[in-house]
Every structure is written in C-alpha cells, then in structure tokens.
Amino acid sequence: AEDRRAETIKKKLEAEGIDTIWASSKTRLSKYHTASPEDRAMQIFVVDQYDRWDKPAPIDKSTEIFTRYEGARIIDRLYVAPENYADAEKLLTER
C-alpha cells in the first residue's frame, strides 16, 4: 500500500502523455541511531545552549526528531522533464 500512491500518480501523469521516472528508496532518515559498535563508540554529544551547567547528552536523546525518524521510511520520487513540470504540477494540484 505504501507504493500505491506513487504508482497512481505515475499512471495519471503518463495517461496525459507526461513521461515519468519513479525512484523509490527505503532508508533511515536519522543516521544518529545505529547498532554498530564503531558508531556507538564515536557518539556526538550536545550541550544545552541555555543551560551550560547541564550535562552533555547524546545527540539522539537531545530532541524528539531523532526518535521520530529513527525507523526506516520509504521515499518515493517522481521525475518529469523540465518542460513538462508545469503541466504535471497543474494535473496533480487540480481538484
């Protein structure tokens, strides 16, 4: 189901004569979470700029964003030729 949206968009564009290249990848967006011993040995620590007396903390614990993007995500990209961009955008944004 994850790739259905990109596939549907690709078909819609191609039905209108707009050639499309679909590239898909699955990766972790946050590279600060790792299981490798080498990477864990070289952790990055941060200090709160507003509380200089606070203890340094590992970067992956410093903000929710690293936890939120810890897992793998599928990223789909659809490419169209520059001369077709305006038509593709119009087709995808019209209701």
The pTM is what? 0.54
What does the alpha-carbon distance between residue 44 and residue 59 come to, in Å, rounded to a whole number? 6
Mean pLDDT of 76-94: 93
* pLDDT value of residue 47: 82
Is the confidence at residue 3, as pLDDT, over 80?
A: no
- Residue 83's pLDDT is what? 97
- For the domain 4-93, what is the CATH code? 3.30.70
Q: Name the one residue in this structure whose structure tokens are 């707009």.
A: 18
Q: Does the structure show a pLDDT above 60 at 79? A: yes
C-beta of residue 95 within 8 angstroms of C-beta of residue 12: no
User: How is the chain split among helix, strand and coil, in percent rounded to 5?
Assistant: 40, 20, 40
Residue 16 has pLDDT above 90, yes or no: yes
